[in-house]
Amino acid sequence: MSPWSPFRHRVFRFLWIAQLASNIGTWMQTVGAAWLMVELDASPAVVALVQTATYLPVVLVGVAAGATADLIDRRRLLIVTQFFMLVAAGALAVLTALGTTTPWSLLALTFCLGLGAAFNAPAWQAIQPELVPREEFVQAVTLGGASINLGRAIGPAVGGALIALAGPWLVFALNAVSFAAVILVLWRWRRPVEDDPTPPERFAGALRAGLRYALFSHSLHGVLVRSFAFALASAGLIALLPVYSSRVLGLGSGGLGLLYAGFGAGAVLMAAFLPRLRGRLTADRVFALGALLVAAVLLSLFAIDVAWAALMVCIVAGAGWLCCLSVLNVASQEVLPGWVRARGLALYLTVLAAGIAAGSYGWGRVADEVGSQSAFAWSALALVLTLLLAARWRFAAASRLDLSPAPMASPEVRLAVEDTSSPVLIVVAYEVCPDAEDDFLRAVRVLGRARRRTGAVSWSIYEDADRPHRFLETYVVPTWEEHIRQHVRRTATDAAVQEMVLGFLREGTEPTVKHFVAPPEPSFMESLREHSPGVVEERLRTLGEHLDG
């Protein structure tokens, strides 16, 4: 399939173009902020804090942003976040034009832009499956990464030239205009309304459900661990590039822009070959290739002090970076079902941002001690060591999951459940074949993890002490509404696990399911009235007479 096939879809095409404009503005902003901090004569550690300020908001509010994107209309959320970033970029442009920007005001407004991006990113990624058919999803994700890196190729070069011509305030102002372009396209898009038969989720419950899913998803664990490790080890490349450009290569803002542009150009070139590469190599090998390319670049920068050579290796770095991020982005989408996609992606972006923010600060501190080139060398070693994580977590496992919806019918109970906020205990009884008990227990424990991913707060399996080969599965769900959602949240992979469990039952038997709802607790006064009729009223009357007297 052609890597450009998603462009056949009108909405994807126009949103991609608008996002490209925004990405160009963002990378112009990145060069402008980094160069302005260098002009303010900040230390390497403070210059590196520009990147920390960009990504720290994702660490602080990323998961909450994902829950928000799953609860409210994503189109409206995107419009609000784009407008917020427009205001922040405009404020920075005004302050810089007036000559009143300080290192801390620059970091504060960069933090505000990062805050807007933190709420924007999960919603933006979560709408991608809505824009293209499932078979074109990998190409759409790759083109999304290409948009970021094409912006990185164009934005820094143009931004560096504009900074040399008029100063950083102009690139900040153009970044604000780029957000307006995205708002215009989103305003004209009419997103289809999703038909959700389940009761609406509340924010706190949605947040807990997202974290619960992440806690019990082995596949997501691997994506998160490897994302954090890659970001932590490689963050010094971008964070220290302004210091390296200025103090080692002796370049101005235009030269720094070209280095950033080379990084983006390498990613754009790789985007054209990446679908073919992924067709020949496994995701794990594509990631390893990308990580080794970035590590080789970091090691090369340790020895290079010539501008043209630095530009060449930055192109290679961009190609390697896209290989790694493309694998991570696709894997993060593959391990998440639709009902929790934005929350899971927010967690992935949070972990990635945490690695970049911590790595930027850490490699900045190393550069303060040993210089930026030596910090690059240590970063290369750290990045190579992260490949050892493939022995425990492989990306190939994510592609084998089928997380398409496979909902079950809602449970039928004789009594109407009036209090939908009380906990629910579900008890499932199984009659197991005598020679299949061990296999049954292994399979039912896998099913238990699925129960907990979709809403259960506790899960257990018991063997009946009075009846041989009879097992009871018990789990508790916070509310009856959450139990209804469990039936809708079931995926094809979960359904296959349930079928496997049923395969170990005695012939002619079916599991029996019982539901128990916790009764509401009576208030203290009602409890007293129930156990001591008339006593409470008599004491209240006596107390009233005493107060009157």
pLDDT at 385: 93
**CATH 3.30.70.100 domain span(s) along the chain:** 424-517
pLDDT at 540: 53
pLDDT at 523: 59
Q: Which residues of the chain are modeled with pLDDT < 50?
A: none
Phi, psi of 391 (to 5 degrees): -65, -25
Looking at CATH, the fold of the domain delimited by 5-191+200-399 is given as: Growth Hormone; Chain: A; (1.20.1250)
361-371: buried (b, 16+ CB within 10 Å) or exposed (e) per residue? bbbbebbbeeb
pLDDT at 502: 92
Structure tokens at 388: 């050892």
**CATH 1.20.1250.20 domain span(s) along the chain:** 5-191+200-399
pLDDT at 86: 92
pLDDT digits (tens, 9 = 90+) for 180-212: 888 888 887 776 655 555 556 677 777 788 888
Looking at CATH, the fold of the domain delimited by 424-517 is given as: Alpha-Beta Plaits (3.30.70)
Q: Compute CA distances 74 → 31, 122, 129, 213, whole Å.
A: 30, 9, 13, 21
pLDDT at 55: 78
pLDDT at 504: 93
pLDDT at 544: 59
pTM of the model: 0.70
pLDDT digits (tens, 9 = 90+) for 206-234: 778 888 888 888 888 889 999 999 999 98
The string of DSSP codes covering 403-416 is: -SB-PPPPPP-SS-
DSSP assigned state of 162: H
pLDDT at 461: 94
Q: Give the up-direction half-sphere exposure of residue 284: CA atoms within 13 A in the CB hemisphere.
A: 15
Structure tokens at 476: 């508790």
Q: Long-range contacts of range 8-12, CB-CB < 8 Å, 24 or more positions apart? A: 9/131, 9/132, 11/131, 11/189, 12/131, 12/132, 12/140
CA dist., res. 42 & res. 338, Å (int): 45
